[in-house]
Structure 1
Amino acid sequence: MGPEPFTISVPDDVLGDLRARLRNTRWPENAPGEPWSQGTDLAYLKGLVEEWAERYDWRAHEALLNRYSHFTAEISGTRVHFIHERSGRPALMLTHGWPSCFTELLPLVDRLSADYDLVVPSMPGYGFSARPPEVGIDAAYTAGLWLDLMDLLGYKRFGAIGGDFGAAVTTHLALRAPERLTGILLTTSEMSPVLGPDAAPLTDRERAYVDHLAQWDATERGYSSIQSTRPQTLGYGLSDSPAGLAAWLIEKWRAWSDSGGDVDSRIGTEFLLTLLTIYWCTNSITSSMRDYFDARWHGTHLTGADRVSVPTAISVFANEFIPEGEPPREWYERLYDIRQWTVSPRGGHFAAIEEPDALARDIRAHFA
């Protein structure tokens, strides 16, 4: 079946139930010590929940979202939601990650839609895209869906851009169908090269980087441990409590962005509440977290022979928890054919919403 136009329209009773749950939140006691040191700060979350329940206007933001050209299509039995903006120019596919959705990429749509045909899909199990009821829905599987989607839309060749899980999907696109990719651009280091017995020894900078990643994993990756082992158990609480959902997601947006601790000013309260409302009204938090389970236990693993031959651009942003503010280029070059390497002094994990002008410049330069 071909693509069908899609309009976002959340039923009134869903919004009413959301507000009632927000107003009836049962709060835990405050955590001792510094705010945010044990997780999402109580005072901050109470203010955000009050804003969400009493003043945030979903209908106004729903109307803004519907200014874009939304579609759904059934691909291999899976309903995929995507934005498709046509300009008659070369095509680019933009893929988001977790804990995000297609809305993160809209600032790029605003800046690039006159120069490119843009396809912005929602990952399987995020927002308005369904997730197949089976295990093994990893980045390689999603790359296959995206190739089928681009076939359906008539694009034989296209460029691809991604961050977080979107970077993994983009990498698998390039590995699976290099002849179809005009180039790729990544904003995060989602995929690591395989260091087999024939690999070149690590440089000093690479060793420091690997040690840093191990330290970050030990202190910051608790969310990933539970999402990759017991997403269903966690999902019961997050699917039943919008305040719990907000606490779980916003803590990551604050920590991973270049916010200096003020996520509302840096990212925008309205943007965050729109993101949360999409997750809540589509009940997609649990299905989104299955990415971690499938990647860990059923994922497609790289081998030492895998190398991306597609011309690659890496856009590095400051707040990616990297020593000296920049990962070693030679680490990326083990896996990718890097043609463009840019470092921005601002921005973090969510580059498309944090620094859209800088990222749009990088995209234009690489795909020119």
Structure 2
Amino acid sequence: MTRPFLVDVPDDVLDDLRARIRATRWPPPAPGPPWEQGTDLVYLRDLVSHWESGFSWRAAERALNAYPQFVASVDGVDLHFVHQRAAGGAGGVPLILTHGWPSAFVELLPLVGRLTDPVAHGIEGPAFDVVVPSLPGYGFTPRPARAVTTRDVAGLWHGLMGALGYSRYGAQGGDFGAGVATWMALTSPERVIGIHLTTPEVAPYLGPGSAPLTAAERAYAEQVAAWESTERGYSAIQSTRPQTLGYGLTDSPAGLAAWIVEKWRAWGDTAGDVSGRFGRDFLLTLLTIYSATGSITTSLRDYYDNRWHGSAPGPRDRVVVPTAIAVFANEFVPEGVPPPSWSSRLYDVRRRTVFPRGGHFAAVEEPDLVAGDIAAFFATVLRSGGDA
């Protein structure tokens, strides 16, 4: 059963948010250059001051509610999603887009108009019926009281698309969303037209019987290891003690902002200017969704569940559906660009595009590039015999 949904945060929740911001207890500034030891104090105080007194959540709500949103119950989970059909009503290529952490469905909204009405945006390719769900535990989709891995979400997404009347469809995503798209293709390839990925979320099988690493692959693996030795602290705690971390981030809007915005600054193609790149109101819309729904702790559980309950591709696992890999020059999670052979170990790569700009949050950083690449890829897939 699918029912319409409107974003409508109660006034008392917003009043409480503002009161908590006003009551923030600030630490002393860190010695050394700004941002070297984490989120800069001067920047953060300015951001949360705007959050408390300058940012209009009601205006943000109106913008969000311009997109048709719904809730559907699939396997006992009430999934929140945007569902916008192709312009003109002729029936578009069904496509489900999935975000990651520390993000939400709002990251993918810039793609919706570009994909449902590509002609109006100067994009060549088919029009799409676009579905943008919120991952379980993020924003308006609650997380069930059980482990939920990217493989589990893939099953939920198949159920959602079936409930919407789609028998075959494409999948796209970055970060955890890339993992979901990968598992959608691995578990039910007959239902998937193709997948488009903006980050290298799932590593190929490298165990006994796999081909030796090439020199380029060894160099990439070394870059990943170096990045993990200095930047993986967030993941270590989120995959071991998410509940402990969640108390502080749920209680303190300033703490929540510090934890999330630092990642958007470091992982995006920001040149150090996170507000200039994404806009303060976009960042505060994202933060308000996390704060108003109390969902930061449940989002952190993605790391715990996937580490302890997830599964990695085995020696016989291979994505046989057509795959597109979009590589963004300033992707820093992890640092380094995987060589083509790395992706080809797991995927049937039909398209690989290297873009000179853009980072981890490509859909909101460079929506024209991402939407154009998606449209071009699926146009090729459909011409080669795929169908919707």
2:39 matched residue in structure 1: 40
1:25 matched residue in structure 2: 24
1:71 matched residue in structure 2: 70
Residues 1:366 and 2:377 are matched in the alignment: yes
Q: TM-score scaled to structure 2, two decimals?
A: 0.93
1:121 matched residue in structure 2: 133
TM-superposition CA deviations, 1:179-205 (whole Å, max 9, x none) = 111110000000001112211111111
Residues 1:14 and 2:25 are matched in the alignment: no
AA of the residue aligned to 2:92: R
> Partners in 1 of 2:145 and 2:43 — Cα distance?
36
2:113 matched residue in structure 1: 110
- Which of 363, 381, 388 is matched with 1:352 structurally? 363
Local SS of the residue matching 2:329 = strand
Following superposition, the deviation at residue 321 of structure 1 comes to 3.2
> Partners in 1 of 2:9 and 2:115 — Cα distance?
28
AA of the residue aligned to 2:81: F
AA of the residue aligned to 2:143: R
AA of the residue aligned to 1:175: L
Local SS of the residue matching 1:22 = helix
Cα–Cα, structure 1 residues 303 and 325, in superposed 2: closer, same or farther, change >3 Å? closer
Cα–Cα, structure 1 residues 316 and 236, in superposed 2: closer, same or farther, change >3 Å? same
Following superposition, the deviation at residue 178 of structure 1 comes to 0.5
Counterparts of residues 1-368 of structure 1 (less than 5 Å): 2-87=1-86, 88-114=91-117, 115-135=127-147, 137-321=148-332, 326-368=337-379
Contact 2:194 2:322 in 1 (8 A): yes
Contact 2:220 2:337 in 1 (8 A): no
How many percent identity over aligned positions? 63
Local SS of the residue matching 1:38 = coil
Aligned residues: 366
Following superposition, the deviation at residue 113 of structure 1 comes to 1.4
Following superposition, the deviation at residue 323 of structure 1 comes to 10
Gaps (5+ residues) in structure 1?
none
> Partners in 1 of 2:57 and 2:333 — Cα distance?
37
Following superposition, the deviation at residue 326 of structure 1 comes to 3.2
Local SS of the residue matching 1:145 = helix
> Partners in 2 of 1:323 and 1:226 — Cα distance?
17
Following superposition, the deviation at residue 267 of structure 1 comes to 1.1
> Partners in 1 of 2:206 and 2:334 — Cα distance?
21
AA of the residue aligned to 2:133: P
Contact 1:175 1:307 in 2 (8 A): yes
Local SS of the residue matching 1:148 = helix
Cα–Cα, structure 1 residues 331 and 288, in superposed 2: closer, same or farther, change >3 Å? same
Cα–Cα, structure 1 residues 358 and 330, in superposed 2: closer, same or farther, change >3 Å? same
Contact 2:85 2:130 in 1 (8 A): yes
Following superposition, the deviation at residue 325 of structure 1 comes to 6.1
AA of the residue aligned to 1:348: G
> Partners in 2 of 1:81 and 1:322 — Cα distance?
27
Gaps (5+ residues) in structure 2?
118-126, 380-388
Cα–Cα, structure 1 residues 245 and 75, in superposed 2: closer, same or farther, change >3 Å? same
Local SS of the residue matching 1:83 = strand
Q: TM-score scaled to structure 1, two decimals?
A: 0.98
Following superposition, the deviation at residue 319 of structure 1 comes to 1.1
> Partners in 1 of 2:234 and 2:193 — Cα distance?
35
